[in-house]
Structure 1
Amino acid sequence: MKKYLLSLAAAVALFSLFGCNNHSEAPETVVQLKPMQQSYRGVVPCADCEGIEVSLFLDKDGSWVRTMRYLGGKGAGSYSDYGTWERTAEKLMLRDSKGEKTWFQPHDDALEMLDRNGNPIDSPFNHTLKAVDATLPTVPMAMKGMYRYMADTATFKDCATGRTFLMDSNAQLERGFAGSPEPVLVEFKAHFIYDENPDTGAQFKALKADGDGRFQPGKNCDN
């Protein structure tokens, strides 16, 4: 896996003015974004614990996985979520599976957390995640989507992001699908993995279930 995400390019549209006199088009301006690392980690403030260790993995396909480990306090434990990310010249925006946004400002090998409106946080405490070498997190995440098993291949269309993933083999899910002619809504805990095509050797992202799924026949992502 490449250590650095591929740079993205943002272009400013050309505007043409029309009238009695001819005007030349404005020159195109291209803003080159600096490459970002794939994994970041840091301990940020917590209202009722000693701190929250945040690990963020940015995948080159525009998705992310975040693990938050609560340190001390009554709510100690780990929690993971996921979503999609977008970047501009100055900010990184994460959108989670519930549509909530989190903002960061990239700084060389670090990400500075911003407030919910994308503005700097006025605080003496640390809100910075530092670049680290880390792999795709495997902490289970709650997921909901449309499952289908056909021709020995299982797929899952995630309700939150609309993306479709191949599923790692899982006998319980295959039995639960029970040969339905249409995809069936299912809820389970799962994590992403990288798998390899046995014919081409190409790597692809897949989903591995952590435990049994709860099928809801007759329902879909909208109800």
Structure 2
Amino acid sequence: MADTLTGRAMIDTRMALPTGLTFEAVIEDISRADAPATVIGRTVIENPGQPPIDFAIDYDPADLRPQAIYSLRATIRRGDALMFTTDTITRVLTDGATGPVEVRLRPVARSSGASPAPVGAHGLSLPASFTGILPCADCEGIRHHLDLWPDQVYHMRREWLGRPEGPLRRDEVGRWYADPARGAIVLYGASEMPLFWEVRRPGRLRQMDMAGNPITSDLPYELTSDGTLSPTDLDTLFLSGEVLIGPEGPALRECLTGRVYPVETEGAFADLAAAVEAQRESEATPLLVSLEARITQPHPGLAPQFPRLTVLRFVRAFPGESCTRPEPTAELANTYWRIDSLMGEDLPPVDGRREPHLVLLDAPEARFRATVGCNQLIGRYERAGDRLTFAAGASTMMACPPPLDALERQLSEVLKATRRIRLEGERLDLLGDDGAVLAELRAVYLR
């Protein structure tokens, strides 16, 4: 005999929903991190009307397992296009409870252009959100939501599922940099150790161990992206930032990322305001603060259209101090050098193709790889002071469409003709015998 779970879906939008939509709610067993979720029950409502949407899902109690974790997931689609989805775990059927349960669906960000997004030298198509459930030694799995931006900022939410001692969630903001030697990106922020992610494809990352080595396992250590950015809300963040007071109200410049967040006048805002009043000598005097906060993402149709910060707990103020971050430094080896020009002609990236770049690796031997967005040219190089020469080796053999075919031949000729370099900060010039500039490059995705 079937039981029924009842619920109500709230939609984060004040705009009227169009007709022709399909609402779906699914009960899933998410207990196993090494296997897809098992569907226990489902309901589909065509043309659900305006929110809130009431629903009921029939399921067979005989399908339930003791100690399993059951979650409710809901989506709204127009045809094949996903428009709204739940982005947090809503546990259901705990201790026999059959509802009612409330879920909140958030809008899914979609690229407005028809052209594929450009691919950075690191191999990722950004901005994008990456999600997945990764294995866990002492729990059922760790659900990840990782938002990456091209300006090297990341937001991450992690949830430890099925812990005997209760749920655990950790949110953080930070910065990422590219590691060409590993073919990876590295996250550094609130975590005690940097987190290494191997770039498998433009929409796929694989977790590496704490030392930055590949994990050899058949278990699902990968996060995937559909190429869109759906930023998640973050809670219980421990942040340091510089207080800014402007005509539109207070804001916080977060020190690690450099992002500026308008501050809501709720929560523990009064404590922050009191510290500003008591410890800031003048509007020109910087004031650094540490606090616990929540970052809430904007929702379409609602104002304002940018993330907001809510102070949960004020910790301390540091009068006269401001955010400081060391300038990145570029080394010739193990750096992505974006190729900005060849023979005096600009070299813009091509949509859907990898950013033109050159990488010089120094271990275990001096080798290079380069591309204009089609084939990869690889070989050896020799350096002595400002002298640099390339010895071409192999190349992939894809047929390149114009203008990439001509640019690739030009890059090959430039590498053969290079005799010297001029390295100044984040700029690198490849020079010929007579000192003429053959190519201009810039270091990108540095720490």
Q: Same fold (TM over 0.5)?
A: yes
Structure 2 partner of 1:160: 256
Q: Structure 1 pair 52/101, CA: closer, same or farther in 2 (3 Å)?
A: same
More displaced 10-residue stretch of structure 1: 114-123 or 91-100: 91-100
Tell me the CA shift for residue 117 of structure 1: 2.5
Give yes or no for contact 2:291–2:312 (8 Å, CA) kept in 1. no
Is 1:146–2:242 an aligned residue pair?
Answer: yes
Structure 2 partner of 1:191: 295
Q: Structure 1 pair 121/9, CA: closer, same or farther in 2 (3 Å)?
A: closer
Q: Secondary structure at the match of 1:178?
A: helix
For residues 160-208 of structure 1, give each alpha carbon's deviation from its aligned partner in whole angstroms, at most 9, with x where no partner exists. 34x1514234252334422722314231212153599xxxxxx7x5441
Q: Structure 1 pair 137/92, CA: closer, same or farther in 2 (3 Å)?
A: same
Give yes or no for contact 1:41–1:54 (8 Å, CA) kept in 2. yes
Structure 2 partner of 1:81: 172
Correspondence list, 1:40-189, <5 A: 40-73=130-163, 74-88=165-179, 90-97=183-190, 100-108=193-201, 109-132=203-226, 135-140=230-235, 141-161=237-257, 163-170=258-265, 172=270, 173-178=272-277, 180=280, 181=282, 182=285, 183-189=287-293
More displaced 10-residue stretch of structure 1: 46-55 or 207-216: 207-216
Distance in 2 (CA, whole Å) between partners of 1:34 and 1:79 is 25
Tell me the CA shift for residue 56 of structure 1: 0.8
More displaced 10-residue stretch of structure 1: 211-220 or 118-127: 211-220
Is 1:213–2:314 an aligned residue pair?
Answer: yes
Distance in 2 (CA, whole Å) between partners of 1:158 and 1:37 is 20
Distance in 2 (CA, whole Å) between partners of 1:192 and 1:5 is 26
Structure 2: stretches of 5+ with no match in the other structure: 1-108, 324-447
Distance in 2 (CA, whole Å) between partners of 1:34 and 1:82 is 19
Q: Secondary structure at the match of 1:61?
A: coil
Give yes or no for contact 1:144–1:186 (8 Å, CA) kept in 2. yes
Question: Which amino acid in 2 is paired with 1:186?
Answer: S
Give yes or no for contact 2:127–2:150 (8 Å, CA) kept in 1. no
More displaced 10-residue stretch of structure 1: 98-107 or 171-180: 171-180
Give yes or no for contact 1:55–1:68 (8 Å, CA) kept in 2. yes
**Higher RCO (CA < 8 A, seq sep 6+):** 1
Q: Structure 1 pair 221/187, CA: closer, same or farther in 2 (3 Å)?
A: farther
Q: Structure 1 pair 177/214, CA: closer, same or farther in 2 (3 Å)?
A: same
Identity, in percent, stands at 17
Q: Secondary structure at the match of 1:174?
A: helix
Q: Secondary structure at the match of 1:135?
A: coil
Give yes or no for contact 1:195–1:206 (8 Å, CA) kept in 2. no
Q: Secondary structure at the match of 2:186?
A: strand
Distance in 1 (CA, whole Å) between partners of 2:308 and 2:277 is 20
Tell me the CA shift for residue 94 of structure 1: 1.3
Q: Which has the larger radius of gyration?
A: 2
Tell me the CA shift for residue 114 of structure 1: 0.9
Give yes or no for contact 1:136–1:192 (8 Å, CA) kept in 2. no
Q: Structure 1 pair 128/41, CA: closer, same or farther in 2 (3 Å)?
A: same
Q: Structure 1 pair 7/153, CA: closer, same or farther in 2 (3 Å)?
A: farther
More displaced 10-residue stretch of structure 1: 68-77 or 178-187: 178-187
More displaced 10-residue stretch of structure 1: 136-145 or 91-100: 91-100
Distance in 2 (CA, whole Å) between partners of 1:44 and 1:55 is 11
For residues 46-71 of structure 1, give each alpha carbon's deviation from its aligned partner in whole angstroms, at most 9, with x where no partner exists. 22211111111112322111111111
More displaced 10-residue stretch of structure 1: 148-157 or 46-55: 148-157
Correspondence list, 1:6-25, <5 A: 6-9=118-121
TM-score by length of 2: 0.38
Distance in 2 (CA, whole Å) between partners of 1:105 and 1:209 is 34
Superposed CA RMSD: 3.4
Matched pairs, number: 194
For residues 77-122 of structure 1, give each alpha carbon's deviation from its aligned partner in whole angstroms, at most 9, with x where no partner exists. 3221111112355212211235631111222332111112222112
Give yes or no for contact 2:262–2:309 (8 Å, CA) kept in 1. yes
